[in-house]
A and B are shown apart, each in its own frame.
Chain A
Amino acid sequence: MNPTAENFDVDRQKVQEILARFSLPSEIEKVDTEFDLDSGGDPAVRLTFHVRDEAHIGQEELERLTKFLSEVTSALLQGNIAGFPYTRLEQKV
């Protein structure tokens, strides 16, 4: 197992623990996590927050969800994960 793979395993556990501390906003139906390298070759954790198809996302909701993602990012960084957490909202509409 190379060091990067070991880092991914440690990160996987930490990310799940940290995410479990948050209550997901009602618009989010699931979160996908992917562990790989970013464009600069550094370890990355990619978190995709899937927004329900029927959820209305106006400016107020967008600001609230972006703030939520920022809080998750800070918590993950303070949790000393090896990869940088890249967060992304997606809605299939």
Chain B
Amino acid sequence: MSLPSDLLEQADHLSRRERQRPRQASLRRSVSCSYYAVFHLLTAEATSHVGPNLTLNATQRIQRWFDHGDMKRVCGMFSRPEAPRQLSTILGGPVSSDMQTIAQSFIQLQEARLDADYNLAVTWTRLTAQQYAQVAKNTFAAWTRIRRTHESNVFALALLSAKLFDKER
């Protein structure tokens, strides 16, 4: 099993860990795992898209270049059918439904993870943690369907070099 898949399994496990009265710690870690499952899936896949012949050492170093805030901004561009002009000229068409799902889910999960890790004013319910684990599962499925497309290549490039997509060139 890969790290993203292991994290996805852990998110599901933690959301169901206590049969009754789930602990807040379990639910919060579950939500965090859901986000990191998707984060590591996308950074690993984007790196292999951009540099398919990189050594393992280089791949692991490059995976640390990804910035959470930049990734959120890029996902914002892919979250609606009509991408901003600087992106649509390269995409050559509307954003697919699967790509919108991936982009929307990443933004949702990132915000949820920040709440889960830092916002003690929020009380989590089991269903909310299960919802985010399901969102992560749906993201994996959507990525599997489009990972060999032109669109996923453009997405990978944008995740790694977000600033290049900030304005039209």
Contact surface of A with B, Cβ cutoff 8 Å: 38-40, 44, 51, 57, 62-63, 65-67, 69-70, 73-74, 77-78, 84, 86-93
Contacts and interface: CB of A to CB of B under 8 A. Distances in A.
5 contacts: A51-B127, A57-B130, A84-B79, A86-B108, A87-B108
Instruction: Using C-beta atoms within 8 Å of the partner chain, give the interface range for chain B.
Output: 20 to 34
A63 B134 contact: yes
B81 A78 contact: yes
- Those 6 A-B pairs whose CB atoms lie nearest each other, nearest first: A91-B127, A66-B134, A89-B131, A39-B114, A77-B80, A89-B127
Contact of B127 (A70, A87, A90): A90
B28 interface: no
A69 B72 contact: no
Interface of B: 69, 72, 76, 79-81, 100-101, 104, 107-108, 111-112, 114-115, 125-128, 130-131, 134-135, 138
B69 A70 contact: no
A66 B138 CA distance: 9
Contact of B101 (A39, A44, A70): A70
A92 B72 CA distance: 31
Contacts of B114: 39
Contacts of B138: 66-67, 70
B79 A77 contact: yes
